[in-house]
Structures are given as structure tokens and as C-alpha cells.
Amino acid sequence: MYAPAPPTPARASRIRQRVTPYALLLLPCALVILALGYPMARQLVMSFQEFGMAQQFGQPPEWVGLDNYLSILSDSYFWVVTGRTLIFTAGAAGATMIIGVGLAVLMQRVSSAVRVTLQLTLIFAWATPVIAAVAIWRLMVDHRHGVVNDVLAGIGLSGFQGFHWLQANTFTFLLVGAVVVIWASTPLVALATYAALTQVDDEVLEAAQLDGADLARTLWHVVLPIIKPVLILLAILQVIWDLRVFPQIYSLQQGAGSTSETNLLGTYIYHTGVGGGSYGMASALAMIMLLLLIILTWRYVRILSRQGDLT
């Protein structure tokens, strides 16, 4: 019997070229599976269990099947919170996209000095820690010394003198929460959209102008369709971020008193699990929230996939 001939240098090089990408991906994929896969699987298992404070001290969890899900879906408060969350998400994400795209268009049409100043301002706003941003906005809407009430009262709206935005009603509370979220999210949309606008061919814009299109028509019928994949991706991210928003709403709730009237899904899960000690129920809520995210974003992800922007 003859031993197989050792691989030639050229063959060994080809093998290394084929194996190296997979070897380089192995460690990152393993870390992702370890960091995200295990918690997700653990959460899925807990959603089918009665897992409360007793289980935190060593008592074995009781398997309850779909009882947690049935209890949630039959609870009218869950549907109230879900509807409130969807309305909040639509309003915050929509406003963020409109303001961000508007700022991007504005940056294309101002002088370099103004554009750089605006970009630096957006970056500083984006880099501000969430808790610090919430603290600033809480001071601004404070019912005793807040600048917002002073400005509104100064222009003749005397009803806002001493107005408590966080305790008046659910709408004003969520309005403040939406402003905080929009303020923090707009810089990414504006800067990413501006980068996309700079890639639009000048010849296309000149052709539109020669055809008699004004700025609004050029923007709506020419520019936005060209950068549509970028806008769709940004919209998907905004929906995901705003649907699962937590620190802004939770921090504002500390100055609002009651949480039942101001809960969104993120804070509802937190108060059910950490606050109420019902971790099994909170896990089921989190899985329902994940399913809702998939439903809301699946169509847009497929659009991007068909356009070749996702692989």
C-alpha cells in the first residue's frame, strides 16, 4: 500500500483560503450564541413555567405549559398596554424619520460652517447618555421651575403655569417620553440620511431640474426613491428601538407616581418580573413582544433582502 501524497503548496494554500473565513467566524458566532442564544432559550423555557420568588431561593419551578400566555392574552390590561405601545412607537418612529430626513436635506443646502455646526450638535445629542438626557428633560418640564412652562406661559398660554407634564395625564407623560426618544434618535437618522444623499448622482438631479421639477418634487419623486433602502433600514431600527424603549419611560415614571397608566411593554415586563417577582409571566410577555417585533419588521426586511441590501 502506498501512503497518500502530501498536499502540494498550491493545494494547501487553497485549503487555507477556504477554511480561514469559517475559522475566523467560529469564535464570534460562538460568543454570540453564548451571549444571546442561551438567555433566549432560558427565557423561552421560563415562559412555560411558574417561576417566582420561591424559585429564586431554590424551589424547583413548576411547568405550567401555555398558562402564562393564556393569562396574558386574556388580560385586558395587556391589550391596553400593547395598544399604547404601538401608538407610541408609530408616533415616535414616524416623527424621528420626518425630522431626521428634514435635517439631512437642510444640511445639503446650508453653508459648510453651518453644516459642520449642525453635525457636531447632532453628534453631541446622540452621545449624551440616556439617563442624563432624561434628567435634562425632566428639569425642562418641571412644573415649578421648568423652562418649557415658562416659555409657554410667556407667550400667553397661562394654563401651562405650574403644569405638571408627568402627572397631568397619560398623553402628556407619553408626549414627554416621545420627545426624549425622538431627541436621542434623530441624530442617527439625520446623519445616515445625509450620507446617503451625498451619494445621489448630480446628473440625476440636473435632469430633474431640466424637466421642470421643483425642490419638493425632486425630493419626493427622485431623491427619496433612490435612498429608499437606507430609509427602510432606518425605519426598521426605529420601530425596534421605540417598541422596546425602557430607560426613558422608566426614568420618567419615577417622577410620575402611578405606573399603570403610563406603562409601555418594556416597563410592563420589568414591573411584572423584577417588580412583581413573576419571572415566568415576564418571560412570556417578552416572547410575545419578540413575536410582535418580528411581525412588524418582517415585511420590510424582506423588501431589503429582495433589493440585495441584506444577504
pLDDT one-digit tens code per residue, 193-211:
999 888 877 777 777 776 6
CA distances from 59 to 7, 50, 64, 281, 284 (A): 59, 11, 15, 17, 20
Q: How far is CA 275 from the centre of its chain?
A: 24
CA distances from 28 to 25, 38, 84, 112, 145 (A): 6, 15, 38, 41, 50
Q: How many residues does the chain have?
A: 311
Nearest to 149 by CA among 135, 125, 134, 166: 166
The pLDDT, as a whole number, for residue 311 is: 44
Reply yes or no on domain 63-306 having CATH 1.10.3720.10. yes
pLDDT greater than 90 at residue 83: yes
Domain ranges of the chain: 63-306
Read off the pLDDT band of 310 (50, 70, 90).
Answer: very low
Q: What burial class does residue 219 get, using C-beta atoms within 10 Å of its C-beta: 0-12 exposed, 13-18 middle, 19+ buried?
A: middle
Q: What is the mean pLDDT of the chain?
A: 84
Which residue would you say has higher pLDDT here, 65 or 168?
65
pLDDT greater than 80 at residue 46: yes
Percent of all residues in the chain with a pLDDT value above 70, rounded to a whole number: 90
Read off the pLDDT band of 4 (50, 70, 90).
Answer: low
Phi, psi torsion values for 50, nearest 5 degrees: -90, 100
Q: Would you give the DSSP letter of residue 274?
A: I
What is the rounded distance in angstroms from the CA atom of residue 156 to the CA atom of residue 101?
A: 32
Q: Which single residue is written with the C-alpha cell 440620511?
A: 193
pLDDT greater than 80 at residue 302: no
Which residue would you say has higher pLDDT here, 71 or 217?
71
Nearest to 182 by CA among 147, 227, 137, 230: 137
- Lowest-confidence pick of 50-54, 70-74, 267-271, 279-283: 50-54
